[in-house]
Amino acid sequence: MIKHMVPGKWDLEVDLVAVGSSAGGLTAAIMARDRGMSAVVLEKGGVLGGGTAYSGGAIWIPLSHHMSEVGCKDTRDGVLRYVRKLSMGHHDEAILATYLDTGAVVVKYLEEHTPLRMCVEEDSSGTEYCADVPGGVPLGRKLWPDAKVMPGVLDEAEKKYPLIAKVAKDPVRYLIGPRPPWVQGRALIGGLVLGCAQRGIEVLTETPGKQLIVDNGRVIGIRAQRDGRDFFVKANKGVLLATGGFEWNEAMNKRFIYSPPLHAYTCPTNEGDGHIMGMELGAAVALMDHSIFQPGLGMPTDIVGHNQHLHRPFIYGYPGMIMVNRDGKRCCDECFYPDMGRAFLEYDRLRGGFKNWPIFSVCDQGFRDMFPFAGLKRGGTDVNDLVKKGDTPRALAEAIGVSGDNLVETIERFNRFAKEGKDPDFHRGESMYDLRWAEAIFPNRGSMAVLGPLEKAPFYAVELSLTTAGNLGGLVINPNAQVIDVRGEVIPGLYGTSNTTAMLPLGHHYDSGAAQGKSMIFGYIAANHMAATHAKQE
């Protein structure tokens, strides 16, 4: 373990230091105060919430009281079967058990002691990714901030607490258009920030953590930076690393991620700061190649932070749209973004490169009549610097540089499948998730809600980027949220949560909301462990 010089003077002294204003960092600060401890949250950026504020705000919490409220049934054994089937053997049984046994407790506690209110999302967004797998459920495990309650609560809170206004806003228009200000990820973070504000917990923005300070083998504080100088914070009971993933760190992506160039649409401050600080002390890491891979768009105008290019998700999985690879052939189920992400990673050893990349989204005018496309408004026939156009599939193939014969054959084949209502190539529209995907827009149409031919000229295409909603590899923790070193020993005084820690509850599986659920659960556990441990010592 590397030893760092203890400063002669501390700028701030508290019991718990949460490094990062993730859902887990904020939850830990709330719990610390409720357990009689002092706490501070250090945030690298000028706004709060990291990638969570940009997100849909889901948390994956099996067995919560909200499931029974809407008639959803679940069992602990069912969840275990589900994860064990999907994790590819890379989950940790003890961490998974802790997740399952604590998640519902965390939700109930926060709803009883903070303004945050959650609910089951009963539309297609609430469907579990692999609900057809044994142990999966169609609805109930994914919770969202209650859109009937949170906007009003947070609108009023903004008038009283200036801190609320620091919750990060959407930096670009995602998908179909702008979101209301206090829903989804902003509502989740907003509810927790309001809980901190009501308790008088100090949240310091533009204060990045730089280096952990160790004395006699124990983490006792952190060297941060504030106003251009070192800012030393003493942690009497523990430091919690909750700085998010490392997807904006190009060097770490190249070192750990096997993929074409990877881009992100999370908060640009997610540069692996917590990973680096932990690894500097010999912390073990796991699942560093694991990421929420999905296709996205790099719009030229989407510049954020220090001239950083934010990528955005794109609209997929509706009738009149397919994805084709560099050969002009389909390569995935276009309704299921994890399958789309996998398509980017597939390797061709004979050609010595990624089999499918570059990948293009292809649609017809019928699709454009219903949806915006790559920054273009619905209903038009115009193009921009990203979008290519052809009066026929063959002309479009020439415009994007793929085989005309292949693209013509691909579209004809897909059109035949679409009319028959079956996709034998990639099974689009067969899973429970696929069937519910477009239900809100095309109710009662079964597989035809997602299958529809490309027939109306002209035809359009845009090249897609491989993006991520967060890298999921990170520091290894034990069930107490304590970071362990490469020999399996606890690093005293150091705790971890958020995407700073590895996705050990699910291994190489991911379900929407699992990252934020893990973050909140182990933030809660970390604060309680610090309080209990030091109560015994006293």
Report pLDDT digits (tens) over 352-361: 999 999 999 9
Kindly state the average pLDDT of the residues 102-129: 91
How far is it, in rounded angstroms, from Cα 274 to Cα 500?
A: 6
Kindly state the average pLDDT of the residues 168-180: 72
Kindly state the average pLDDT of the residues 526-532: 97
DSSP symbol at 501: B
266-289, pLDDT tens digit by residue?
989 999 999 999 999 999 999 999
Q: What pLDDT shows up at residue 124? A: 59
Q: What pLDDT shows up at residue 311? A: 82
Q: What pLDDT shows up at residue 125? A: 66
Kindly state the average pLDDT of the residues 98-112: 98
Determine contact, residues 50/22, Cβ cutoff 8 Å.
yes
Q: How far is CA 482 from CA 3, 265, 345, 529, in A?
A: 19, 29, 33, 9
Kindly state the average pLDDT of the residues 475-499: 98
DSSP symbol at 205: S
Kindly state the average pLDDT of the residues 451-461: 97
Q: What pLDDT shows up at residue 192? A: 98
**Residues in Cβ contact with 351 at an 8 Å cutoff, skipping those fewer than 6 apart:** none
Q: Three-state SS string across 436-447, please?
A: HHCCCCCCCCHH
User: Residue 372, preceding bond cis, omega within 30 degrees?
Assistant: no
Mapped onto helix, strand or coil, the DSSP state of residue 244 is coil
Residue 179 has pLDDT above 80, yes or no: no
How far is it, in rounded angstroms, from Cα 474 to Cα 497?
A: 9
284-313, pLDDT tens digit by residue?
999 999 999 999 988 777 777 777 777 888
Average pLDDT, the chain: 94
CB atoms within 10 A of CB 170: 15
Determine contact, residues 247/27, Cβ cutoff 8 Å.
no
Residue 438 has pLDDT above 60, yes or no: yes
Q: Which run of H or E residues covers position 77? A: helix 76-86
Q: What pLDDT shows up at residue 123? A: 65
How far is it, in rounded angstroms, from Cα 324 to Cα 391?
A: 18
Residue 174 has pLDDT above 80, yes or no: no
Q: How confident is the model at residue 148 (pLDDT cuts 50, 70, 90)?
A: very high
> What's the whole-model pTM score?
0.95
Residue 219: alpha-carbon gap to chain centroid: 29
Q: What pLDDT shows up at residue 177? A: 60
Q: How confident is the model at residue 537 (pLDDT cuts 50, 70, 90)?
A: low
End-to-end distance of the chain based on CA atoms, in angstroms?
A: 27
Q: How confident is the model at residue 118 (pLDDT cuts 50, 70, 90)?
A: very high
Question: For the chain, how many residues are written?
Answer: 538
Residue 537 structure tokens: 């010592």
Determine contact, residues 481/525, Cβ cutoff 8 Å.
yes
- Where is average pLDDT lowest: 175-184, 224-233, 251-260, 404-413? 175-184
Residue 50: alpha-carbon gap to chain centroid: 10
Residue 1 has pLDDT above 60, yes or no: no
Q: What pLDDT shows up at residue 236? A: 98
Q: Which amino acid is at 415?
A: N
Q: Which of 529, 440, 352 is nearest to 125 (CA)?
A: 440
